């Protein structure tokens, strides 16, 4: 394969995607050589850059250290030419007899395939993760891949300036500036960079950049020699191995400040440790003396509060209005009558009677708002500001004086369920921080009022989109997949990655909120349960709570709940997102099946694509959707042990090579008919798309499962498109 520009022949060789998985006309994505600045290859979608390789070194592109892995370097030879006649990149297979394909697919991914052992295998593709997507973190910021997500961090000497990235904190002065080294990264976009191959040493490159006041960063990039940047540094990412070093221009005071901090730390740390040791010894002596005086020597560390938080006696806090938690003095707390058990917060003080006493464990710092501020923000809890309501009370939209939009949960004064939910949600959300969970901004406890202040979600809840035919058209396949992945990551954090292991117990589309960019965030932790890391994962309750249609069968029938209960709810949501139908509002001709039963029936008959929402156009990738349908059916298996964990679900979504376990029939319950479409109607509505994802075969191939298998093999090999400019 050869990509690039031939100046003599006036030809540009590039890969162009298909329009869709089944439409071979030229699509939106182009894989091509960029010749402005320092040459590199990039992927474009119309006029938007979505990925770039970084400049070429002697053996690889700086943005793809994986090219040096034996899994790739043993198969391919790479070469790069840049002169006055041409700029081109060439790959050749070392094994000339091996059949191979280079594909720019319709979803925006460049892939390398080879025919190995009788089947096609995809052994290399880009973009590979979130940080590979162009300018993911904004300018002067580094994207770092995490376990199932990514994080952004400003370069040294820069601070956050919102979603646009980072800006310099201290102005440069040119003559006294110094350079800070940033290791193992993808070099910035070179569209406006300059290369000088005559400067072949790092010292020469630094000397040249330091004398040029407009030079803001430099790096050595193989045959390109010394590369320098004069503007914002865009599309940076870190690598755990490989990558290149970048030297960023900083004010001299940045280094002086760093050295000063190190000196202060060297002096202050020993003093602090000594002081803490003295405090511990004093506390121990006082504790022993107190124990002897009472005739009791406390040896159980539970009394010193196993959790690193504060126990608040709410009746005592009420009279203080909405102070910040740190302002409450020690005399305001009495822990002798409090008890923390699992995530249930109880008060055992019988003398409190009608004071609605409660103990709340708050880990960390929580902002407080006074009632007057909340009333002003919500127009005195106006009906026009009402967003919704539940067992806890009502949710209102508000706007603070600084213009920030908020959502306010107002506890109903007459709801015991709401009181429990309020205490539970206050405890949980204050300690859970993830991009796919709704963020708690603060709270207010004043008089009889109990308020939670949450971030406002501009697009409301997911159910408003997937069930509404006028709204669902906004959710193309890629957006639905992103929502599914976001929910999965949020659940994985709750189940495994957070400090508290949490079972949500009421996961449903109305509890999935969407921000202005349609990113999903899990909300409503009122009936969630916390478990210690070593606790048994299956528990029972005599009072199952939740929402019919999303409750796992073992929980609905026997009150048994576990992390797999949330997995079941997630599977239902996945099938609803794909179909645009409610699980309990669905009928199939004369046999009233729920959505799960209908999806399984179509799967067994090889007609899974018929379940898709009519709002989806025909450009969806059939293999991805079939994989999602099967993953959803795995999550709703009748027995909890047959369902995957959320870690396995995320792996299924992230990797095409993840093996899926065999399907068993899910729980099939009678549906409550409310105008749901019959299977006949769905088949009619999806006929065009279903045919578009099919190929005419002889009539004796009656099984559509055979057709699907044939389609899967065929659609792995879209043709390579080559466009020419000029002659």
Catalytic residues: 506
306 alpha carbon, distance to own chain's centre:
31
Gyration radius of the chain over CA positions: 30
Angle among Cα 637, 639, 642 to the nearest 5 degrees reads: 65
CA–CA distance, 162 with 373 (Å, rounded to integer): 26
Which of 450, 592, 459 lies closest to 521, judged by CA? Answer: 459
What is the phi/psi pair of residue 239, to 5°? -130, 145
Is 112 strand, coil or helix? strand
Buried b (16+ CB within 10 A) or exposed e, 510-545: bbbbbeeebebbbbbbbbbbbbeeeeeeebeeeebb
CA–CA distance, 545 with 561 (Å, rounded to integer): 10
Identify whether the C-beta of residue 554 lies closer than 8 Å to the C-beta of residue 513: no
CA–CA distance, 380 with 371 (Å, rounded to integer): 10
| Helix 563-579 and helix 646-654, axial crossing angle in degrees, nearest 10 | 40
Cis peptide before 533 (omega within 30 of 0): no
**The pair of three-digit structure tokens given for residue 573, joined into one six-digit string:** 């949501």
What is the phi/psi pair of residue 79, to 5°? -145, 150
What is the phi/psi pair of residue 236, to 5°? -95, 145
CA–CA distance, 641 with 664 (Å, rounded to integer): 12
Which residues does 421 contact at the CB level (< 8 Å), separation at least 6?
391, 392, 526, 527
* Beta bridge partners of residue 246, listed in sequence order: 182
Identify whether the C-beta of residue 691 lies closer than 8 Å to the C-beta of residue 675: no
Which residues does 203 contact at the CB level (< 8 Å), separation at least 6?
none
Identify whether the C-beta of residue 451 lies closer than 8 Å to the C-beta of residue 410: yes
CA–CA distance, 712 with 625 (Å, rounded to integer): 12
Angle among Cα 675, 505, 655 to the nearest 5 degrees reads: 85
Which of 199, 187, 191, 180 lies closest to 244, judged by CA? Answer: 187
**The pair of three-digit structure tokens given for residue 621, joined into one six-digit string:** 């990738």
- For 28-36, the CB contacts below 8 A with 24+ separation are 28/106, 28/108, 29/104, 29/105, 29/106, 29/108, 30/104, 30/723, 31/3, 31/104, 31/110, 32/3, 33/3, 33/4, 33/5, 33/87, 33/88, 33/89, 34/191, 35/5, 35/87, 36/191, 36/192
Identify whether the C-beta of residue 472 lies closer than 8 Å to the C-beta of residue 483: no
What's the order of all strands across the beta sheet hosting 150-154?
150-154, 141-145, 236-238, 178-186, 244-250, 217-220, 226-229, 194-196
CA–CA distance, 258 with 273 (Å, rounded to integer): 22
- The reply to whether 316 sits in an annotated binding site is no
**The pair of three-digit structure tokens given for residue 659, joined into one six-digit string:** 């093996």
CA–CA distance, 524 with 587 (Å, rounded to integer): 30
Residue 15: CA count within 13 A, CB half-sphere: 23
| Annotated binding-site members for ATP | 410
């Amino acid at each position: 394969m050869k990509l690039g520009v031939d100046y003599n022949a006036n030809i540009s060789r590039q890969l162009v995607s298909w329009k869709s998985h089944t439409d071979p006309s030229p699509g939106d994505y182009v894989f091509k050589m960029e010749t402005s600045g320092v040459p590199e290859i990039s992927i474009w979608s119309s006029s938007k850059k979505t990925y770039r390789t970084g400049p070429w070194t002697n053996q690889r592109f700086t943005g793809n250290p994986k090219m040096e892995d034996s899994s790739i370097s043993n198969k391919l030879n790479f070469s790069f030419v840049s002169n006055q006649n041409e700029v081109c990149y060439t790959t050749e297979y070392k094994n000339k007899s091996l059949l191979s394909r280079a594909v720019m697919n319709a979803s925006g991914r460049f892939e390398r395939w080879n025919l190995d052992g009788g089947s096609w295998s995809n052994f290399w593709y880009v973009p590979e993760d979130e940080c590979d997507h162009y300018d993911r973190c904004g300018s002067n910021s580094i994207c770092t891949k995490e376990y199932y997500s990514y994080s952004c961090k400003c370069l040294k000497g820069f601070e956050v300036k919102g979603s646009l990235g980072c800006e310099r904190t201290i102005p440069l002065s040119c003559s006294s500036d110094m350079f800070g080294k940033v290791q193992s990264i993808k070099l910035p976009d070179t569209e406006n960079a300059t290369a000088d191959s005559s400067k072949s040493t790092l010292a020469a490159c630094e000397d040249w950049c330091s004398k040029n006041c407009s030079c803001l960063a430099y790096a050595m990039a193989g045959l390109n020699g010394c590369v320098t940047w004069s503007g914002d540094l865009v599309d940076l990412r870190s690598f755990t191995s490989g990558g290149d070093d970048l030297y960023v221009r900083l004010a001299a005071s940045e280094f002086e400040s760093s050295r000063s901090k190190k000196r202060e730390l060297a002096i202050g740390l020993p003093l602090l440790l000594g002081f803490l040791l003295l405090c511990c010894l004093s506390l121990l002596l006082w504790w022993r003396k107190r124990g002897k005086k009472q005739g009791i020597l406390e040896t159980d560390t539970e009394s010193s509060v196993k959790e690193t938080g504060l126990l608040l006696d709410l009746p005592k806090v009420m009279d203080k209005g909405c102070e910040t938690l740190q302002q409450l003095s020690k005399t305001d707390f009495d822990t002798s009558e409090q008890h923390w058990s699992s995530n249930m917060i109880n008060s055992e003080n019988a003398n409190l009677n009608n004071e609605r006493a409660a103990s709340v464990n708050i880990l960390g710092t929580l902002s407080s708002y006074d009632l007057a501020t909340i009333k002003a923000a919500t127009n005195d809890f106006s009906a026009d500001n009402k967003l919704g309501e539940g067992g806890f009370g009502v949710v209102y939209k508000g706007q603070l004086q600084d213009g920030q939009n908020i959502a306010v949960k107002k506890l109903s004064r007459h709801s015991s369920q709401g009181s429990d939910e309020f205490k539970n949600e206050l405890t949980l959300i204050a300690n859970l921080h993830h991009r796919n969970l709704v963020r708690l901004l603060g709270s207010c406890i004043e008089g009889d009022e109990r308020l939670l202040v949450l971030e406002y979600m501009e697009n409301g809840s997911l159910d408003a989109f997937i069930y509404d035919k006028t709204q669902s058209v906004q959710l193309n396949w890629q957006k639905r997949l992103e929502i599914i992945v976001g929910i999965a990551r949020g659940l994985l954090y709750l189940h495994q990655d957070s400090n508290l292991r949490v079972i949500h117990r009421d996961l449903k589309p109305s509890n999935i909120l969407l921000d202005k960019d349609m990113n999903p965030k899990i909300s409503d932790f009122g009936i969630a349960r916390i478990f210690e890391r070593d606790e048994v994962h299956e528990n029972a309750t005599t009072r199952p709570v939740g929402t019919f249609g999303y409750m796992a069968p073992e929980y609905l029938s026997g009150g048994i709940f576990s992390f797999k209960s949330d997995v079941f709810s997630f599977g239902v949501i996945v099938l609803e997102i794909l179909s645009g139908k409610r699980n309990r509002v669905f009928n199939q001709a004369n046999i009233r099946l729920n959505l799960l039963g209908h999806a399984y029936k179509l799967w067994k008959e090889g007609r899974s694509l018929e379940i898709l929402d009519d709002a989806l156009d025909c450009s969806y990738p059939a293999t991805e959707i079939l994989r999602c349908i099967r993953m959803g059916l795995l999550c709703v298996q009748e027995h909890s042990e047959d369902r995957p964990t959320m870690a396995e679900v995320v792996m299924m979504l992230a990797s095409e090579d993840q093996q899926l376990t065999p399907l068993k029939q899910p729980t099939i319950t009678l549906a409550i008919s409310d105008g749901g479409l019959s299977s006949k109607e769905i088949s009619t509505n999806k006929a065009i798309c279903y045919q578009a994802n099919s190929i005419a075969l002889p009539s004796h191939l009656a099984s559509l499962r055979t057709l699907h298998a044939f389609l899967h093999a065929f659609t792995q090999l879209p043709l390579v498109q080559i466009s020419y400019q000029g002659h």
